[in-house]
Amino acid sequence: MTEIALVRGDITEADVDAVVNAANSSLLGGGGVDGAIHRRGGPEILAACRELRATSLPDGLPTGQAVATTAGHLPARWVIHTVGPVYAKREDRSDLLASCYRESLRVADELGARTVAFPAISAGIYGWPMDDAARIAVTTVRATPTDVAEVRFVLFDDAAHQAFTVAAG
């Protein structure tokens, strides 16, 4: 059974096998978690993402999917990039958000990762309400068969930590 841990902190400092990046579909860096991971990880991550774009993902990474690269200068061994959905009030896109967690765990299993750190995917600039994002994240991780021993939700602020604490029950 996968242990779930909640940590208030900076995901770029997580000492885990794999860090999940809330990426944009271009994989070429952006703001928020994505920008922080690219800045701290260094040019190796961007080079690996460019290689993926050139060889297997010319149109970018689809929403809800995941792919891995080196972690560059991060403490982790790998970065698992996943593209979360933009929140839409009039359209239920929760299946795409859940897919980000399932697909990231699938990639982690392929890599042999035993510890994985997740941010609150889509709950930043993509506008997903934090309470709902936390519920989907925790429920999906608990329901997904995986060899990952520990999933660590690394949450940037107290509000996110509180929402995940409630979701984790």
Residues serving a catalytic function are: 34
Residue 81's beta-bridge partner residues? Answer: 21, 67
Inter-CA distances, 31 with 4, 56, 108, 111, 152, Å: 26, 24, 24, 26, 22
Q: DSSP letters of 18-57?
A: EEEEEE-TT-S--SHHHHHHHHHH-HHHHHHHHHHHHHT-
How many H helices and E strands in the chain? 5, 6
